[in-house]
Amino acid sequence: MFEDLGEGPHYEPPGEHVAFGDVFHSAFMRDVFVRSDCELLGGGPLPPTLAPRVARWMNHQLDERGIDLYSPAFTAKPDTRWALAHAAFKPDGLALHAVLISDSCLASTALAQGRVGRSVAGRLLFAPLSFVDEQKWSELVEKEDFGRFPLPPDERLPDGSVAELACCFMADARDVKEHAAERAVSMRPALGEELEAHWSAYATRRGPRAYERNALKLAVLLSNGEPSEHAVAVTDQLAGVLDCTWVLEGRDLEDISEAEEAVRHGERQAADLTPALVRRVSGRLRELSALAMAAADALERTEK
């Protein structure tokens, strides 16, 4: 799974702006999820004098201090919008870990990072981290599970960290902005691209992780059973074509988007940025054309 990453480093200190792949270490980053018993709640602050009495009803000792009391039995007010939901929480400490899955462009928009005249609004998607033993972590590296992404080890992260992509939850952008300093690490580009490919495979069944697996299935069909070396080589060419389109879409066009934004905000001039971007996209398209022709020829030869 991590063959192309090298030995690292795979992480770096968090940057000025929150970005895709940033790992937060914060007490409010809980895996919250809704089930069919979700109900709107009414209620609010309970007077301090009543708090100890309510606590005794719940077989709990509580000092005379204010607490909040919410229940479906009380009328829910439109301006509070509280609801009853479920949450996964770890018993080994209050501070939890979660990795940002929303892409960096969306994060910048929601958090108003470098966005002139915008306010912080919306929600961002996170995957909570679980922690597994060394054997299970190695199994996830060797045999990929689209719903789980094992993180390379680092002293700033708990051992055996795994991003649980199948348990994503959303957090309000205002609170993410407020707690931006509670990021443990940021992913370096190579690891971030691995996470992006894994997330795309899980969320859309698209991208490198998905088409590499499907290309191997084509090799099985071409061999009518156990894939031969020749069939794998042919389907690897197909995967190479899709790798090129992945780079074109996910890197080249993203850089164009960032350049356009810089021009729109008056930070750069289009005449300075456009020529290099055009040359890069043109070169990528020519590369894609050559790879596609070679893959088509190889596939056609398997029918002869």
Q: pLDDT value at position 101?
A: 97
Q: How far apart are CA 21 and CA 100, in angstroms?
A: 5
Q: pLDDT value at position 91?
A: 61
Q: pLDDT value at position 66?
A: 66
Q: pLDDT value at position 44?
A: 84
Q: pLDDT value at position 59?
A: 72
Range with the lowest mean pLDDT among 32-36, 38-42, 45-49? 45-49
Average pLDDT over residues 13-42: 93
Q: What is the pLDDT of residues 90-115, one digit of tens each?
A: 665 557 999 999 999 899 999 999 77
- Backbone φ and ψ of 7, nearest 5°: -85, -5
Q: pLDDT value at position 182?
A: 96
Residue 231: pLDDT above 90? yes
Residue 83: pLDDT above 80? yes
Residue 253: pLDDT above 90? yes
Q: What is the pLDDT of residues 261-304, one digit of tens each?
A: 889 888 899 999 999 999 999 999 999 999 999 999 999 998 77
Q: pLDDT value at position 90?
A: 67
Q: pLDDT value at position 63?
A: 64
Written in H, E and C, the secondary structure of 152-181 is CCCCCCCCCEEEEHHHCEEEEHHHHHHCHH
Q: What is the pLDDT of residues 179-202, one digit of tens each?
A: 999 999 999 999 999 999 999 999
| Tokens standing for residue 99 | 């990795």
- With a pLDDT cut of 90, the percent of the chain lying above it is 71
Q: DSSP readout, the chain?
A: --TTTTT---EE---SS--TTPEEEETT--EEE--TT--B-EEEEEPTTTHHHHHHHTT----S--EEEEETTSPPPTTT--B--EEE--TT-S-EEEEE-S-HHHHHHHTTSS-TT----SEEEEEEEEE--HHHHHHHHHS-BTTEEEPPP-TTS-TTEEEEGGG-EEEEHHHHHHTGGGEEEEE-HHHHHHHHHHHHHHHHS-SHHHHHHHHHHHHHHHHTSSPPHHHHHHHHHHHHHHHHHHHIIIIIHHHHHHHHHHHHTTSS-HHHHHHHHHHHHHHHHHHHHHHHHHHHHHHHHTT-
Q: pLDDT value at position 92?
A: 57
Q: How far apart are CA 52 and CA 58, in angstroms?
A: 10
Q: pLDDT value at position 296?
A: 97
Residue 10: pLDDT above 90? yes
Q: pLDDT value at position 95?
A: 73
Q: pLDDT value at position 255?
A: 93
Residue 169: pLDDT above 80? yes
| Mean pLDDT score of the chain | 90
